[in-house]
Amino acid sequence: MSLAIICPGKDPQPWIQAISKLDPELNIQVYPSIERPEDVEVALVWQHPEGILSDFPNLKLVSSMGAGVDHILRDSGIPEHLPIVRIVDEKLTWSMTNYVVMGVLNFHRQITRYQADQKRKVWDMSNPEIEVKVGVMGVGALGYDVLEKLDFMGFPVFGLGFSEKKDFPFPYYTKDQMELFLDQVNVIVCLLPLTPDTEDILDLEFFKKCKKGTYLINVARGKHLVEEDLLEALNRGYLSGAMLDVYRTEPLPESHPFWNEERITMTPHIASVTNPSAAAPQVIENFKLIKSNSPLKNPVNRIKGY
d(C-alpha 102, C-alpha 134), whole Å: 13
Nearest to ligand OXD of 182, 219 (CB atom): 219
Active site residue 256: no
Nearest to ligand OXD of 103, 185 (CB atom): 103
- Considering the complex, what minimum distance in angstroms separates the CB of residue 118 from ligand OXD? 33
Stretch 64-93 residues interacting with ligand OXD (CB under 6 A): 66-68
Nearest to ligand OXD of 66, 156 (CB atom): 66
Active site residue 269: yes
Nearest to ligand OXD of 67, 226 (CB atom): 67
In degrees and rounded to multiples of 5, residue 46 shows phi and psi of -145, 115
- Considering the complex, what minimum distance in angstroms separates the CB of residue 70 from ligand OXD? 8
The residue within the footprint of ligand OXD, chosen from 93, 95, 97, 274 (CB under 6 A), is 274
d(C-alpha 42, C-alpha 234), whole Å: 45
Could you tell me which stretch among 63-71, 111-119, 170-178, 235-243 binds ligand OXD (CB under 6 A)?
Answer: 63-71
| Catalytic position from the list 109, 113, 263, 269 | 269
Can residue 135 be called a binding residue for ligand OXD (CB under 6 A)?
no
Could you tell me which stretch among 62-70, 208-216, 256-264, 298-306 binds ligand OXD (CB under 6 A)?
Answer: 62-70
- Considering the complex, what minimum distance in angstroms separates the CB of residue 137 from ligand OXD? 16
Task: Please give the residue ranges that form the binding site for ligand OXD (CB under 6 A).
Answer: 66-68, 273-274
Residues with active-site annotation: 221, 269
